[in-house]
Structure 1
Amino acid sequence: MSVSLVQKYNVPGPRYTSYPTVPYWDEASFSPNRWKETFIQSFTESNTTEGISLYIHLPFCESLCTFCGCHKRITKRHEVENPYIAAVLKEWQLYCDLFPAKPIIKEIHLGGGTPTFFSPEHLEQLINGILSKAEKASEFEFSFEGHPNNTTRIHLQTLYDLGFRRVSFGVQDYSEKVQTAIHRHQPFHNVAKVTFWAKEIGYTSISHDLVFGLPFQTLDNVIDTIEKTNSLSPDRLAFYSYAHVPWIKGNGQRGFKDEDVPKDEEKRKLYEVGKALLSHKGYHEIGMDHFALEDDAMYQAFKAGKLHRNFMGYTASKTQLMIGLGVSSISDSWYAFAQNEKELETYYARLSQNELPVYRGHVLTEEDLIIRRHILNLMCQFSTSWQSDDLYFDDLPEVLSQLHEMELDGLLQIKPNSLVVTEKGKAFVRNICMAFDLRLKRKTPQTQLFSMTV
């Protein structure tokens, strides 16, 4: 990749798990009652045709990984498990009381934190409690994130018996020096062990999460990590850019110096070499930072134009309504976003008052809904179109004018009624989306809100 392009386009930018992005939510016009109206509307429109998705945030971790940007609570006290499960099930009951019909669940994803911090018995209690109030869709998809160091065979078997077929293991990097810097010690044999267990039990999609741009990470580290990963043949991979945002995460990302983190051309080379290696091993790029083998459902969804992206990341099965349960979780009714309380004690207090623990959100305008569809198209299919009138917006000519320079740089092609990202441009898809981000352009942040795009 051209060094000049990296220098030119390496600017702070969103990852677009939502549009508008969280810093641009209009919280003043949001209210819990408005949120209830939108999720009931969305439920009525889509429950019988698509079903709904549940994201359940399990925030506890026994130790702090200093690369992590997720909301978590560090503790070794496992007596926190039972009251948290009870709280999540109470929150689910509050939603079920509002639904006009029995929910049909298409997706459940357990994220964290560390979901496998919880015992298999408590996870079984959680999932059975959720399903006791709902029906499963005919083609449901349940997934969870497993820590290689504490995921047991009983965890895997218990969740498999409950219907889980997808598991994602966080690997990051196998270098001991990098692992020490990010406080995430996990030897290769731990990852191999849980991967083989998952295959033996019958999981149909096993994913490994890798990260490039970590402190002290070298090109040799990335090559070694990908070679080791390939020996285990996971069905899909996430190859994320490390988001160095210590101004947001505080001391959690200050376990090393800024100069220890690869930047610009050095960081981009880690990605380019890693991507080439993955391609050589038979992995296809799908969306931003994600790769899958040809027989994986994620790749099939990408080829069919059905790949979707939300606060859970990329998914092969779209639902209009996603309910987030647990502390800090974000829900999406398509018409509005709502985020739960971030502090555990406040989350518990709201539930004790029989209130949905939502503390902020955003109701999308008509313009937001159009821009959201364009950004989703770009992030999921590397193309978008305004052939139909419902995808045209007044600022489109100006957006295309701003994209002209990227076209000259070979990053995209602008056609009469559509835009296609080139192979060269896939690395800059966040920059391309930023041209459509009207809220970002109308109110340039005065301080750095986002990680660098490269």
Structure 2
Amino acid sequence: MTAVTPELLRRFDVPGPRYTSYPTADRFVEAFGQEEYVIALQERKVGSAAKALPLSLYVHIPFCEALCYYCACNKIITRHPERADVYLRYLAREIDLHTAHCGVGQPVSQVHLGGGTPTFLGDDGLRALVAMLRRGFTWVPGGEYSIEVDPRTVTEDRLALLAELGFNRLSFGVQDFDPQVQKAVHRVQPAEQVFALVEAARRLGFDSVNVDLIYGLPRQTPESFDRTLAQVAELRPDRIALYAYAHLPERFKPQRRIVPAELPLASAKVAMLSRSLQAFEQAGYMYVGMDHFALPTDALAVAKRQGRLHRNFQGYSTQPDCDLIGLGVSAIGRVGATYSQNAKTLDEYYDFIDQGRLPVVRGLALTRDDLVRRAVIMALMCQGEVLFESIEQAWLIDFRHYFAAEIEQLEGLSEQGLVAVGGDGIAVTPTGWFFVRGVAMVFDRHLQVDRNRARFSRII
């Protein structure tokens, strides 16, 4: 990490996709709807290769009790828990609609509950949700079963319930331990509360505990964030996700409550990132990639060392590349060579299900070129290298001819020490791994045609 200089960080402080998919979700079209999605589900049911791989499930729980001003997620602020009861009834019907097309009991090796705040659900709601997921699908032993947790909404007893229900991974939203920063973003949670919950999670035997941090928030300074980094090092979670705050008030209404004058300057953000990299290295964390750090013993770090890292809409994963079914409002899925996204509002989502229809409102059927480029981009994002021969054999192309323009474009990154282009492939250097999004962007045909990148977060 010490090779990553502030100068390099400043040079690559530009917008770019996170590549949880390729093509990225902004390329989805409304011409892809329920009919196209059903065909993909049915093809999976009859395809022997797809059936051999377990599914991944993502469930979106949109409700939150309070508004966090930095949030860009699809959420609904409410203090009426009964709204979640209605939502769960519709989720059950959506699951039934899925299993009618792909079959009951499909094996699942990865489940992720996101939001919003999944722990907005009460104990009975969590039990009901897991019961309906297990009725529709078979959770296989040794899978990754994770849930995002707002520390303000759980106790040790609730964590025990999550363990009892089969969850083995927790992700705590911390963002920053500084009280002034917490007040500025309307998310006050004492550090002592988080420490107590992480300690409880360890006693309960969870396989992995992740902590989310954000730099670039109002009232943050490099010095104040240093104190948060020291507390995180003391907390010692198995994984850390470090995100840059993207201030886009024109797109995300809650961010309009943030005082622009309180946001740190770009130079301060770069300093925070640079000092974070050093702090995590000194604390013994391995840089997995794309904002993610893990202790060397964590499954994610092991997968990185062994070349078994994968990437999907939830980020990096140890699970093999597989189809993903998205459940709930705004959820995104991937089945075969298609992507799909559900309706983004509750009224529209409920209306689709009341009609007996899957609530898909947009998506994409990938072209052959999309699939080739996805293979290259995911190899870069996950393994840090692309071997020409493997792509050529899989897709029957001449790599150097097919990607002649891209290889020429890589010369600039090569001169900066970020990639090495050899006779048999392209390798991301240790320094380049911190800017792998910038390397992947070279192979993004859609992005090369459309230079309007302001809609993306910054790549470092």
For structure 1, list consecutive stretches of 5 or more residues without a partner in the other structure. none
1:204 aligns with 2:207: yes
Match of 2:448? Answer: 441
Q: Please state whether the residue corresponding to 1:271 is helix, strand or coil.
A: helix
Task: Tell me whether 1:40 sits opposite 2:35 in the alignment.
Answer: no
Deviates further, 379-388 or 162-171:
379-388
Equivalence for 1:192:
195
Q: Deviations over 1:67-89 (max 9, x none)?
A: 11111000111111211111111
From 317, 335, 348, the equivalent of 1:315 is 317
Q: How many positions carry a matched residue from both structures?
A: 451
CA distance in 1, matches of 2:16, 2:352: 34
One-letter amino acid of the counterpart of residue 363, structure 1: A
Q: Which residue of 2 aligns with 1:298?
A: 300
2:438 corresponds to which letter in structure 1? Answer: N
Q: How many angstroms apart in 2 are the aligned matches of 1:319 and 1:16?
A: 14
Q: Residue 248 of structure 1 aligns to a residue in which SS? A: coil
Give me the whole-angstrom Cα distance separating, in 2, the residues matched to 1:138 and 1:156. Answer: 20
AA partner of residue 454 (structure 2): Q
Higher mean C-alpha deviation, range 38-47 or range 332-341: 38-47
**Is contact 1:208–1:234 with CA below 8 Å preserved after alignment?**
yes
Instruction: State which drifts further: 382-391 or 362-371.
Output: 382-391
* Aligned match for 1:401, one of 408, 427, 447: 408
Q: 2:456 aligns with which of 446, 450, 453?
A: 450
Task: Give the aligned CA root-mean-square deviation in angstroms.
Answer: 1.8
Contact 2:104 2:136 in 1 (8 A): no
What is the match of residue 51 of structure 1?
A: 54
Would the aligned equivalents of 2:244 and 2:458 in 1 still touch at CA under 8 Å?
no
**Which shows bigger deviation, 129-138 or 161-170?**
129-138
1:198-347 matches, within 5 Å, as: 198-250=201-253, 252-347=254-349
Q: State the one-letter code of the partner of 2:294.
A: A
Percent identical: 36
Q: Which residue of 1 aligns with 2:21?
A: 18
Quickly say closer, same or farther: Cα 1:6–1:196, change in 2 above 3 A.
closer
Deviations 1:87-114 (A, max 9, x none): 1111011001111463111111110100
TM-score in terms of structure 1 length: 0.95
Q: Does the aligned pair in 1 maintain the 2:109–2:139 contact within 8 Å? A: yes
TM-superposed CA distance for 1:128, in Å, is: 0.8
Aligned positions of 1:117-196 closer than 5 A: 117-196=120-199
SS of the residue corresponding to residue 172 of structure 2 reads strand
The Cα shift of 1:207 comes to 0.8
Structure 1 position 3, deviation (Å): 5.0
What secondary structure sits across from 1:286 in the alignment?
strand
Paired residue for 1:31? Answer: 33
CA contact (8 A) 1:64 1:183 kept: yes
Please, which runs of 5 or more residues in structure 2 have no aligned partner? none
- Mapped contact 1:287–1:381 kept (Cα < 8 A): no
What TM-score comes out, normalization by structure 2 length?
0.93
- 1:415 aligns to 2:422 (yes or no): yes
Partner of 1:107: 110
Give, in angstroms, the shift of residue 26 of structure 1.
4.2
Q: In 1, are the aligned partners of 2:65 and 2:77 still within 8 Å (CA)? A: yes
Q: Could you tell me whether the CA contact under 8 Å between 2:10 and 2:270 is conserved in 1?
A: no
Conserved 8 A contact 1:25-1:362: yes
Give distance in 1, aligned partners of 2:427 and 2:268.
Answer: 28
Question: Where does residue 367 of structure 1 map in the other structure?
Answer: 369
Q: AA paired with 2:26?
A: P
Amino acid at match of 2:338: A
* Code of the aligned partner of 2:446: R
* CA apart distance, 1:443: 2.6
The CA distance in 1 between the partners of 2:433 and 2:321, in whole Å, is 26
